[in-house]
Amino acid sequence: IVGGVPGNSPWTVSLRDRKGNHFCGGSLVNSKWVISTKQCFSSCYVDLPGYSAMMGTLFKDPKEGEPDRQTIPLTKIVCGPSESQLVMLQLEYPAQFNERVSQICLPPERYIVPEGTDCEIAGWGETKGTGDETVLNVAQIPVISNKECNKYFRGRVRENEMCTNPFQGGVGACERDYGGPLACQNSDCWVLEGVIIPMRRCGHPGQPNIFIRVSVYVDWIKKVMEM
Amino acid sequence: TRSLLNDFQRSEGRELAPTVWNSARVLTLPGLTLEDCAKSCSKTLDCRAFNYETRPSITCKQLPWVEDGSNAEVKRNVNCDLYEKKVYVRKCIVGKGEDYRGKVSTTKSGHTCQQWWSKFPHDHRWIPSSTNGLELNYCRNPDGDPIGPWCYTTDQERRYESCNIPHCKDEVCITCNGEDYRGQVDHTENGMECQRWDQQFPHQHIYQPEKYPDKSLDDNYCRNPDASPVPWCYTIDPLVERESCEISKCSVVPKRRVRFSFTTNCFRGRGEDYRGKVNETTSSIPCQRWDAQQPHEHPFYPNTYECKGLEENYCRNPDGSEAPWCFTSVPQMRTALCLQIKRCADDIEAEDCYHENGKNYRGVVRKTRKGIFCQKWSVNTPHKTKINPETHPQANLTENYCRNPDGDQHGPWCYTTDPKTEFDYCAIKQCAGEKVSLIEPAEKVEFSECGKRDDRTPRSWSR
């Protein structure tokens, strides 16, 4: 995260490869399922031996015995509709919810989050020197309309995508944040409105951030969890 | 620190089942550990293999044969692993081949070997015994001859001749840095024996076979799971953690690999075959040239990894990472993935189209977007259906045609015949000109049980 500060985001998980290295982010949408982006995975039709989701800690590489840290193997990956760039990852056993681990809300189907809504992105990825890469960084970032966003991207932003405000100081997600959440506040709850996907340039001053609009795929998400 | 299992080749989920008339020659020992079972077989002269069963109870069954197509046959058994003595299954030799126990019985120029027990046509002084392996007329090397296994021939004119059995290090050659090597070399270049990959002693390590199924980390054979320059192994010497292995390089790279699998505009899988010209990271930082060691020193020299396409400063994946990557040109960031390169679409061509959300689709496409055949709606294998003709009688759930009984906004779908994929969308696209409509913000949306966060920062978090 470029332009973020250390913070708390109990639904954000760190996805770990076979060597135990952090390589992408994800969001807990219930005790057994994590949402992330397809771009982080080589295929949806393979097993995931050795991959895991780590949660319940702010530290990217917590010490052995760190209290409340949970590292749960991934057992299944399900690809979203083709243009969604989303995947759902099943945990081998349910995550234990507590003060440090909780699930994030899903928005209503096809809901458009109002412009100006307070949102935040979170991840353990690249800070480009703007923060501490050993801990979870969070950046506040309000929503802008697609219409507004398309002025910058010349009409390329699609309806299943959404944007957040371009700060002159440069705020945004970067390497190894992909798959993580764009969480927006709704009264006293946080809702998963977007998923971070790779963009050209990170935290580039004046450039809006683009996310996959989760509300377009809530029906698919629920179907996978039910099936 | 040497495990006796090093002498055995394991076949997971297999058992060597004797023929009916041979079953009496099987020695059954209940309750032994795997190591003790191996120890017992090593001590028993005519034990050449053993089945190690874990269910319904732990049982060690010792057999006087390996799979040779006559006395016993290998069967699938998920509760059993078969261990065969390497010397009896190996088709190559180590060193001078004194321990070769294969079944080759012709010499390099095609002469049939004379039986060891016979003195005709060539008289000799070797006498078969239960320990010297001079069985029938198989090539052997009882006198440690540097030419390797040999035999007396049945040709009057030719007393004896080598059988030309290849050395394991030449039997299977390696291309590039040998990541695809699946041969049977189990010693390092300095002659040190390798440690089994499925053991953590004397060296603890992360390369557990079940975590890396694609690397075939079999027994204690040399392998290259981490894109080292050549195959290697951990050694049984506690003081030497790992060493490279000496394996011949293939003189010719197979052409097929060169032509068919490289991509330039997108990448497949982990992108090992990506050969495009993207040369900056997702965050637009220029990549460092592979043939440079500044600002980052690294082991990936283009000439050592000549098959990895390490040209210029292009994003590449020489080591099996999750996607193409590069060393960056900024000192503070050593490497970065190039995830901005598109993944190649692996959907098959759409075979039909649907209107709106496809709820009324009644076509005959029966494949998923990946080309996997659909499961019939009326059966429960491989997937137990929650949606079927009984639950949705109006949905025309016939055969295994793609349908949309639950009004999925993303189009017709089906249960699939792939056990790993419960359901998937079909090779059907929305008819041209139709759009997904989004809804405007609903007034008051209420949530419960989710998205709660304690925003006070407890002192205990400040480490």
In this structure, of A130-144, B191-205, B427-441, the range with the lowest mean pLDDT score is: B427-441
Check CB contact of A49 with chain B, cutoff 8 Å: yes
Selecting from B283, B421, B438 the residue whose C-beta is nearest the C-beta of A174 gives: B283
**Chain B residues with CB-CB distance to A102 below 8 A:** 450-453
Most confident of A81-95, A188-202, B23-37: A81-95
**Residue pLDDT, tens place only, B59-69:** 999 998 888 76
pLDDT of residue B460: 47
The span from the CA of B124 to the CA of B152, in Å, is 9
A16, A45, A85, A190: best to mutate for the B interface, most B CBs within 10 A: A45
**Residue pLDDT, tens place only, B316-375:** 999 888 899 999 999 988 999 898 898 888 888 899 999 988 999 999 999 999 999 999
pLDDT of residue A206: 83
Residue A32 near residue A39 (C-beta atoms within 8 A)? no
pLDDT confidence tier of residue B25, bands split at 50, 70 and 90: confident
Check CB contact of A10 with chain B, cutoff 8 Å: yes
**Chain B residues with CB-CB distance to A129 below 8 A:** 332
Contact B445 A190 (CB under 8 A): no
What is the distance in angstroms between the Cα of A25 and the nearest Cα belonging to chain B?
14
Selecting from B211, B425, B445 the residue whose C-beta is nearest the C-beta of A49 gives: B211
Contact B212 A18 (CB under 8 A): yes
pLDDT confidence tier of residue B445, bands split at 50, 70 and 90: low
For the segment A190-204, the average pLDDT, to the nearest whole number, is 88
pLDDT of residue A85: 92
What is the distance in angstroms between the Cα of B416 and the nearest Cα belonging to chain A?
12
Q: What percent of chain B clears pLDDT 90, i.e. is strictly above it?
A: 65
Q: Evaluate if residue B276 carries a pLDDT over 50.
A: yes
**Chain B residues with CB-CB distance to A160 below 8 A:** 436
Selecting from B282, B386, B442 the residue whose C-beta is nearest the C-beta of A175 gives: B282
Neighbouring residues of B165: CB distance < 8 A, sequence distance ≥ 6: B91, B92, B93, B97, B100, B102, B104, B139, B148, B149
The chain B residue lying nearest A188, using CA atoms, is B452
Contact B451 A8 (CB under 8 A): no
Selecting from B337, B425, B438 the residue whose C-beta is nearest the C-beta of A112 gives: B438
B337, B370, B417: best to mutate for the A interface, most A CBs within 10 A: B337
**Residue A39 vs residues A76, A183, B51, B266: alpha-carbon distances, Å:** 16, 20, 44, 12
Q: pLDDT averaged over chain A?
A: 91
Higher pLDDT, B433 or B181: B181
pLDDT of residue B463: 46
Selecting from A17, A76, A104 the residue whose C-beta is nearest the C-beta of B450 gives: A104
**Chain B residues with CB-CB distance to A204 below 8 A:** 284
In this structure, of A42-46, A128-132, B40-44, B295-299, the range with the lowest mean pLDDT score is: A42-46
ipTM value, please give it: 0.89
For the segment A164-188, the average pLDDT, to the nearest whole number, is 88
Check the CA dihedral B349-B354-B356-B357 and report its sign.
negative
For the segment B437-445, the average pLDDT, to the nearest whole number, is 61
In this structure, of B14-28, B33-47, B375-389, the range with the lowest mean pLDDT score is: B14-28
Q: Evaluate if residue B458 carries a pLDDT over 60.
A: no
The chain B residue lying nearest A104, using CA atoms, is B451
The span from the CA of B201 to the CA of B205, in Å, is 9
What is the distance in angstroms between the Cα of B377 and the nearest Cα belonging to chain A?
14
The three-state (H, E, C) secondary structure of chain B, written as one string? CCCHHHHEEEECCEEEEECHHHHHHCEEEECCCHHHHHHHHHHCCCCCEEEEECCCCCEEEEECCCCCCCCEEEEECCCEEEEEEHHHHCCCECCCCCCCCCCCCECCCCCEECCCCCCCCCCCCCCCCCCCCCCCCCCECCCCCCCCCEEEECCCCCCEEECCCCEHHHHCCECCCCCCCCCCCCECCCCCEECCCCCCCCCCCCCCCCCCHHHCCCCCCCECCCCCCCCEEEECCCCCCEEECCCCECCCCCHHHHHHCCECCCECCCCCCECCCCCECCCCCEECCCCCCCCCCCCCCCCCCCCCCCCCCCCECCCCCCCCEEEECCCCCCEEECCCCCECCCCCCCCEEECCCCCCCCCCCCEECCCCEECCCCCCCCCCCCCCCCCCHHHCCCCCCCECCCCCCCCCEEEECCCCCCEEEECEEECCCCCCCCECCCCCCCCCCCCCCCCCCCHHHCC
Q: pLDDT averaged over chain B?
A: 89
**Chain B residues with CB-CB distance to A223 below 8 A:** 406, 408, 423
**Residue pLDDT, tens place only, A135-145:** 999 999 999 99
C-alpha torsion B390→B394→B398→B401, nearest 10: -120
Residue B74 near residue B4 (C-beta atoms within 8 A)? no
**Residue B350 vs residues B236, B397, B427: alpha-carbon distances, Å:** 55, 20, 4
What is the distance in angstroms between the Cα of A102 and the nearest Cα belonging to chain B?
7
B334, B339, B448: best to mutate for the A interface, most A CBs within 10 A: B339
Paired sense of beta strands B72-76 and B14-18, if any = antiparallel
Q: Evaluate if residue A177 carries a pLDDT over 90.
A: yes
Whole-angstrom Cα Rg for chain B = 30
The chain B residue lying nearest A41, using CA atoms, is B322
Most confident of A108-112, A185-189, B73-77, B202-206: B202-206
Check CB contact of A65 with chain B, cutoff 8 Å: no
Check CB contact of A47 with chain B, cutoff 8 Å: yes
In this structure, of A67-71, A168-172, B155-159, the range with the lowest mean pLDDT score is: A168-172
Contact B425 A82 (CB under 8 A): yes
For the segment B155-163, the average pLDDT, to the nearest whole number, is 93
Check the CA dihedral A108-A114-A115-A118 and report its sign.
negative
The span from the CA of A88 to the CA of B411, in Å, is 18
pLDDT confidence tier of residue B399, bands split at 50, 70 and 90: very high
